[in-house]
Amino acid sequence: MRTLKTEYPLHLMLVPGLIVTLIYAYGPMAGLVMAFQQFEPLSGFFHSKFIGLDNFRYVFELPDFKQVLWNTILISVFKMMLFLLVPLILALLLNEVTKRWFSRIIQSAIFLPFFLSWTVLGGVIIELFALNGPINGLIAALQIKPIMFMLDNQWFRGIIVASDVWKGMGYNMIVMLAAITGINATLYEAAEVDGAGRWKQMLHITLPGMAPILILLGVLSLGGILNAGFEQILILYNPTVYTGADVIDTFVYRLGMFSQQFGPAAAVGLFKSVISLVLVSLTYYAAYKYNNYRIF
């Protein structure tokens, strides 16, 4: 009680954030009731007919749903793996750079795309991979037939994954570099005295020292395995590549906004949220059991 009295100004500072969270994060969750209703906008939540699990049955029986679910998992898994692997490699390489000014320039260049919105980057990517864009210009110079990257399902998936990793890898790289700087320097000195080279030091000191942050990033990314990147895909894709690029979020968007099927759209959103919650819980339990790592 004494601590609460002395620190109450700090607790009061949390109030605005809590209010915003309640309004914008928890308030809209009341709309999940639409997943169990034959929702009519004019009738509202209280007068729309309850139909139980019919919306879920309807969605799961749609011919496109299995392909959408597969696209989401495939794109998300590749993004998740590369979001850990690419920043990890970059962080390890930059950690070996002795010229600090050069390291800062590289960090800034890699981190810069993180601050740009997909509205900007989407236009850049579309221009780069257009039929008459610079990428196809290089291909034509090699006497190879131009490729319609943005209209080909297989190429489009690769562009989605690569561009998302390129945009976000700077953030994870900085987080991993921070984890490296937190490792006790005396461990490296002791290893060097014992004759361990840079490779052995990385394998037996750096990587084990980074294990907690790698586990944390893995837990967070696994929880979003069904988030394949709504804004990015919505900006970049077109009906030609729906088969290979349509994911749960864009599917819900088209189902709710274009087809006005609010109940089925809410059902898909609830399905996605439940799966994400289960995955986060299982991953967190595994991290605690096998690595004794806890976030809280």
178-233 pLDDT tens trace: 888 888 888 888 888 878 788 888 888 888 888 878 877 777 777 677 777 888 88
242 pLDDT higher than 60:
yes
Rounded distance between C-alpha atoms, residue 176 and residue 84, angstroms:
10
SS3 assignment, position 38: strand
275 pLDDT higher than 60:
yes
Q: Confidence band (pLDDT; 50, 70, 90) for 293?
A: low
Average pLDDT over residues 168-180: 86
Closest by CA position to 243, among listed 129, 126, 151 = 151
How much is the pLDDT for 295? 57
Beta bridge partners of 50: 37
Q: At which residue do the structure tokens 């609460």 appear?
A: 4
pTM of the model as a whole: 0.81
Pairwise pLDDT comparison (286 vs 94), residue with the higher score: 94
Chain mean pLDDT for the chain: 84
152 pLDDT higher than 70:
yes
Q: CA 60, 64, 69, 70: dihedral to nearest 10 degrees? A: 130
Q: Residues 95-106: pLDDT tens digits?
A: 888 788 888 888
2 pLDDT higher than 70:
no
Closest by CA position to 207, among listed 186, 176, 171, 165 = 176
Q: Confidence band (pLDDT; 50, 70, 90) for 80?
A: confident
CA 108 vs CA 6, 102, 190, 203: distances in Å: 41, 10, 32, 27
Q: At which residue do the structure tokens 């290089």 appear?
A: 138
Q: Confidence band (pLDDT; 50, 70, 90) for 20?
A: very high
Task: Quickly list H helices, 182-206.
Answer: 185-193, 198-201
Question: Hey, what CATH class is 63-291 in?
Answer: mainly alpha
Under DSSP, the state recorded for 113 is: G
